[in-house]
Amino acid sequence: MTTSQLTEQIHLKKSFLCIGLDVDIDKIPKHLLKEEDPIFAFNKAIIDATHQLVVAYKPNLAFYEAQGIKGFQALKKTIDYLNENHPEIFTIADAKRGDIGNTSGMYAKAFFEDLNFDSVTVAPYMGKDSVEPFLAYENKHTILLALTSNEGAFDFQTQSFDGEELYKKVIKTSKDWNNGQNLMYVVGATKAEHLREIRHLIPESFLLVPGVGAQGGSLEEVCKFGMNRKVGLLVNASRAVIYASEDENFAEAAATEAKKLQQEMASYL
């Protein structure tokens, strides 16, 4: 999927919403536990109820890995279901991987070839050769952590680095890597005041913005400071949408929450 196709979808659906499929077996409605694959059943119901309101889904790998082989199978079924039924939807493996080049190449194979995600989140700490194996894939997308939504972002990311914050150094340096112009970046909604400066550094890049909803970020501020002339935003909500209800109507409740976010988004487009 190309970024132009993603932008088309955003305008078509009047939405730049991404739903985080961070599925915790302890939090899904109890009636699903009798299903053969409760996590996939949950995801399928959420996708069926929300796919017209969103342009992206983002499973976080940790939630699937915590379920062992069953979790891996649920993830595989989820991405296959999306690719077969909704190829127009952008898929993000939120994996935050990164290793020496030889090894990052293995992760790239896992996410881009075997699972066939459109994109993967990658951590920058190990530098250029840990990210370039992901960037080598055409029409696949590497989403680099820049400024994350958690408290710990202040430990290193916002610390000054010879007069410049580390997250800015990461953004500037990464633009020069092979195919670096294709990078997208993670910028937390909880750090919306930083978005203006980030937009100055990367006016054209897509930003994946987590932290709206359960983590307290404001959609209005994200749009005010983060939107570019092609929109250039994917705003993620996870818990606030997928756990809107614990009852049998959980998927409709999720769609209601997603619809609220989509309508607010439409007002900013």
Q: Does 166 bind its own copies (CB under 8 A)?
A: yes
Q: Stretches 99-107, 192-200, 242-250, 257-265: which one binds its own copies (CB under 8 A)? A: 99-107
CB of 129 or CB of 247, closer to its own copies = 129
Q: Does 8 bind its own copies (CB under 8 A)?
A: no
Binding track over 55-84 against its own copies, x by CB under 8 A: -----x-xx-xx-xx--xx--x--------
Residues 173-212 that bind its own copies (CB under 8 A): 173
CB of 123 or CB of 227, closer to its own copies = 123
Amino acid of residue 113 = E
Residues 208-267 that bind its own copies (CB under 8 A): 215
Q: How far is the CB of 161 from its own copies (least distance, A)?
A: 5
In whole angstroms, what is the distance from residue 33 CA to residue 15 CA? 32
Catalytic annotation, residues? 96
Q: Site for its own copies (CB under 8 A): which residue of 104, 119, 182, 205? A: 104
CB of 41 or CB of 153, closer to its own copies = 153
Q: How many CA atoms lie within 13 A of 213 on its CB side?
A: 22
Q: Does 148 bind its own copies (CB under 8 A)?
A: yes
Q: Site for its own copies (CB under 8 A): which residue of 10, 17, 131, 234? A: 131
Contact by Cβ (8 Å): 211, 227? no
Q: How far is the CB of 52 from its own copies (least distance, A)?
A: 28
Q: How far is the CB of 178 from its own copies (least distance, A)?
A: 12
CB of 8 or CB of 65, closer to its own copies = 65
Q: Does 145 bind its own copies (CB under 8 A)?
A: yes
Q: Site for its own copies (CB under 8 A): which residue of 155, 246, 247, 248? A: 155
Contact by Cβ (8 Å): 261, 240? no
Burial of residue 69 (number of CB atoms within 10 Å: 0-12, 13-18, 19+): exposed
User: What residues form DSSP beta bridges with 208?
Assistant: 186, 234
**Binding footprint of its own copies, residue count (CB under 8 A):** 56
**Which chain residues interact with its own copies by CB under 8 A?**
22, 24, 60, 62-63, 65-66, 68-69, 72-73, 76, 94, 96-101, 103-104, 106-107, 109-110, 114-115, 123-131, 145, 148-157, 159-162, 166, 169-170, 173, 215
